[in-house]
Every structure is written in C-alpha cells, then in structure tokens.
Amino acid sequence: MNKKIMVVDDDDGMVEYIKTGLELYGFKVVATTDGLQAVELAHIEKPDMIILDFVLPGIYGDSISKGLNASKITRDIPILFITGSMTPEYMKRISDAKKSGFMLKPFEMYNLKERIEKIFSQKAQEKQ
C-alpha cells in the first residue's frame, strides 16, 4: 500500500490513535498537532491524503484547506475532515470546502480505513 497520510489534530491521543492504527494497516503516517504548520508540512511531506481536525486552536480546517488549495503542489490532495461536533455551520463550511468528506469523532479504526480506501478509489477513478 505505502500511501502517505498526514494527520492534523490538536489532541495528542487522537493523533496517536490514528497514527498507530493506520501504520498497522500499512500506511506511512506523518502527523502534527499544530494546525498552523499543516500547510507547510504538507508541502514538505507531499502526502497522498490529509486527515484534518476541523476545529483546531487558532484556525479552522476549512482555512487550512484554502491554504492547501492555493498551492499547485497541494491542491489535489484529498482531505478528510474529522470533528467531535457537527453543527450546521461546520457542515456548511465543510461542504463549501469541497473536499473528500468528514467523519465524526470518535470512530473505529476500521471505519476510518474503509473511508480512506473509498476516497483513494474515487480519486483513482477521477484520473481515468
């Protein structure tokens, strides 16, 4: 498999949960708890997908998404937003970001894996 996934979440426990689980499934994982560094890290690491907490200290996930979309290097990276609370405002902002979807926390690792595989499959079909 060897796809690289970047995880951005301010909760160390959540980062470790996702990182450990995805590595067991064969993914390479890079992570940060600092949303403000996410765009820079994406440029350095060039992940195949980003799992992005929607609510981070000092910044929302859709703002990070806009920063990624502004760059030729990162604009095509699929983003899966994760959040612990889904308000109508968050739902609209995630929808407006036009990325690959969202999942509510907490979630089971196998559900995350299935979602990731579905996104990669859709991305592969788009390229055909």
Q: What is the CATH number of the domain that holds 121?
A: 3.40.50.2300
Residue 91 vs residue 4, higher pLDDT: 4
* Per-residue pLDDT, 1: 55
Selection from 76, 11, 68 nearest residue 37 by Cα: 68
**Which residue blocks in 48-87 are alpha helix, DSSP H?**
61-69
Selection from 34, 36, 97 nearest residue 65 by Cα: 97
What integer best gives the mean pLDDT of the chain? 90
* Per-residue pLDDT, 52: 95
Domain count, the chain: 1
- Listed in order, strand segments (DSSP E) in the chain are 4-8, 28-32, 49-53, 55-56, 59-60, 79-83, 102-104
* Per-residue pLDDT, 98: 65
Q: What is the pLDDT of residues 99-121, one digit of tens each?
A: 678 899 999 999 999 999 999 99
Residue 64 vs residue 98, higher pLDDT: 64
Residue 108 domain boundaries: 4-127
